[in-house]
Amino acid sequence: MNVNDSIVVVLAASAIFYGTPLVFAAVGELLAERSGVLNLGVEGMMLIGAVTAFWSVQNLSGADWFVLLLATGIGGLAALAVSLIHAVLAVGLRANQIVSGLALTIFAGATGLSSYVGNVARLGGQPAKHEFTALNVFGLQDVPVAGPILFHQNALVYASWVLVVLALVYLYRTRTGLHLRAVGESPETADVMGVNVARYRYAHTLVGGFLAGVGGAYFSLAITPNWIDGMTSGAGWIAIALVIFAFWRPELTLVGAYLFGLFSSLGFVLQARQVHLPPEVFASLPYVMTVVVLVVVSTGWAKQRLGAPAALGTPYVREER
């Protein structure tokens, strides 16, 4: 048997495939949280991204790559637009960030705006006219082991790797990145340094929204190229949990995301190999494992909430400094 058909290689390749939307959403949430804004609206923003991106591939025409690029961008921008609501409430109006983020998920999520848009545009039940397919990078897709895992993925997978590198450079190697960390750790200090706290918080909440939208677009353009109400089924919440596992460090979101990609794909892969268990057991794996991993990282050596920005979730009011 070809080594590339072995269960280990198939699982590794599909872990990356299913984990990629989590990378986008988690890096986005991480940037927002680094500025001190907790946004629990990721699930809603992802669904907005998914529905608008799917609408775009159905209604735009052009070369495959061009339409897909445009659709992903539109998905990101639509999610950015709804994240503005949270930014205004959390940064501008100092509202409770937890409730505001929940409100965003209710507003935009599976029973809200994304479902409304999908219904009005009658997107349900259509096959996608364009979808992301795996590329054969440098013609290396048949190389043993590394081929299917590293060189036979879709374009967004490679984009997510670039994103993680960019986020790392940005956070730790640029002046704005330094200011961002200051805003999240100690807005008072940042303010004294002459950093505009509100502007940083707005900007990073919006960037977080954009990336959540791209992650959502991945669901409707790559994983299951169609539109179903609530199709992200909790990925947004897992992305929020991933930021905690990753100790707010971009490179670790990759590890977490692929771990959860693995749990998401385990069911499909094992069923294809005649392992029979109730489907609900496989389906509940990502959720149960999220709880388990969260418990592990929140105890013992990580008990001090290692890496959480000190000002996370608290509004900054200059007059009350």
Q: Which residues bind another protein (CB under 8 A)?
A: 40, 85, 88-89, 93-96, 98-100, 102-120, 229, 233-234, 237-238, 240-241, 244, 278-281, 283-284, 287-288, 290-291, 294-295, 298-299, 303, 305, 317, 319-320
Tokens representing 173 are: 């190697």
- Give CA–CA dist 82/28, Å, rounded: 14
Cβ 269 to another protein shortest distance, Å: 19
Nearer Cβ to another protein (9/27): 27
Alpha carbon of 40 to those of 26, 165, 197, 230: distances in Å? 12, 25, 20, 16
- Give CA–CA dist 283/290, Å, rounded: 13
Q: Roughly how many angstroms between the first and final C-alpha of the chain, as a whole number?
A: 67
Cβ 286 to another protein shortest distance, Å: 8
Nearer Cβ to another protein (200/237): 237
Tokens representing 88 are: 């205004």
- Give CA–CA dist 123/183, Å, rounded: 41
Nearer Cβ to another protein (193/275): 275
Nearer Cβ to another protein (137/229): 229
Cβ 150 to another protein shortest distance, Å: 31
Cβ 63 to another protein shortest distance, Å: 32
Torsion over CA: 230, 233, 237, 238 (sign): negative
Nearer Cβ to another protein (123/149): 123
Cβ 106 to another protein shortest distance, Å: 5
Alpha carbon of 83 to those of 59, 91, 145, 209: distances in Å? 24, 12, 40, 5
**Residue closest to 321 by CA, chosen among 176, 182, 181, 190:** 190
- Give CA–CA dist 152/197, Å, rounded: 42
Cβ 92 to another protein shortest distance, Å: 9
Nearer Cβ to another protein (99/166): 99
